[in-house]
Structure 1
Amino acid sequence: MPNIQLIAPCLWFDDQAEEAAEFYTAIFSNSQIVNITRYGEAGHEMHGKPAGTVMTVAFELNGQPFIALNGGPAFKFNEAISFQVICQTQEEVDNYWEKLSAGGDKTAQQCGWLKDRYGVSWQIIPNILLEMLNDADTTKSQRTMTAMLQMKKIDISELLQASAE
């Protein structure tokens, strides 16, 4: 039996589902748009979308399935839900931070969190930060936490320096 993904996030957009899916799949490797469905005449009185316009876009980011829905302006993204991107190097942190934050809300950037141009929240986190926060030496982990709280984009060298002080 094939491995079937049972949980796939559905992102509600006003009318930018296809544009957002193209944006995200261009950033992450091993990513693709899988399928696009379009609104028909059925249900027009409820959704109000012209027949033929994009309804959903199924896409994958690094193999993780997502659905983007053009559902109208009723709901907006907020920080209650975010996606974590765990990075191994500063180069990865810088790359994802630069690309995902392009055109986003610069005031929403703190502690590795950013908000992209569509209002979706992301956490760009180096794996070493998680290790340092879980250090058995609580003095080191607290210094790491204090340093991280001062950052927008996470800087691994500053974390290492704070931990070692």
Structure 2
Amino acid sequence: MSFAARAGRYGMPNITPSLWFDGDLEAAAAFYTSVFPNSSIEGFVRATEAWPNDAGAVVYGTFVLDGQRFLGINGGPQFPFTEAVSFEVLCADQDEVDYYWSALVDGGEESQCGWLKDRFGLSWQIVPKRLYELTEDPDTARSDAAVTAMMGMRKIVIADLEAAADGV
């Protein structure tokens, strides 16, 4: 059966990001669900005697962040997070940028251009919609000015982007 036939027969599969934690899945899920609205922890599977983990330790579990389901695994230190995978939080305005930036960087570290690592080492991009509007402006002088301004920022500041674009 062809892929198209299977897709039509079964519909689009659910795609669930799976995140590998170093023993702190339960704390991470609690943290993330406290930051994002409409979020919840679905549940955790705890080790029994059959697992190589300590009995009662969280092995894996699922949580939902504003409608997006995630699987978390307490896999150990072998595969730490890197910037090769990040999650973008597209924000409507500066208030949202400020909220998500402050919440997620707490205990983590700032990077540049709206990127940060949270306390668990996961990378996030906190991006205002206005950034895309300015960097995609058909007037290349305006878009270049916005890009240049963004390159000098850690947290994105919309007013500074707009001032740069308007200053050309």
TM-score, scaled to structure 1:
0.91
State whether structure 2 residue 60 is matched by structure 1 residue 60: no
Residue type matched to 2:126 in 1? I
CA distance in 2, matches of 1:35, 1:123: 27
| Counterpart secondary structure, 1:110 | coil
Aligned residue for 1:146, secondary structure, equals: helix
Q: Secondary structure at the match of 2:141?
A: helix
Of residues 17, 28, 31, the one that matches 1:20 is: 28
Residue 40 of structure 1: how far off its partner (Å): 2.0
What is the aligned counterpart of 1:116 among 101, 118, 139?
118
**Farther off after superposition, 49-58 or 147-156:** 49-58
Gapped regions of structure 1 (runs ≥ 5): none
Hey, what does 1:155 align to over in structure 2? 157
The CA distance in 2 between the partners of 1:137 and 1:64, in whole Å, is 36
Task: State the shift of 1:42 in Å.
Answer: 2.2
Q: TM-score, normalised by structure 2?
A: 0.90
Once the two structures are superposed, the pairs formed by residues 12-161 of structure 1 within 5 Å of their partners are 12-44=20-52, 49-106=53-110, 109-161=111-163
Instruction: Give the % identical residues.
Output: 49
Matches of 2:137 and 2:80, distance apart in 1: 37
CA–CA distance in structure 2, aligned partners of residues 97 and 17 of structure 1: 21
> Aligned with 1:80: secondary structure?
coil
The 3-state SS of whatever aligns with 1:57 is strand
**Count of residue correspondences:** 157
Cα deviation code 1:26-55 (max 9, x no counterpart) = 0000000011111222242xxxx1122101
Q: Over alpha carbons, which structure has the higher Rg?
A: 2
CA distance, structure 2, for counterparts of residue 96 and residue 161 of structure 1: 23
C-alpha distance in structure 1 between counterparts of 2:51 and 2:104, whole Å? 34
Give me the whole-angstrom Cα distance separating, in 2, the residues matched to 1:162 and 1:13.
Answer: 40
Query: After TM superposition, where is structure 1 displaced by more than 4 Å over at least 4 residues in a row?
Result: none
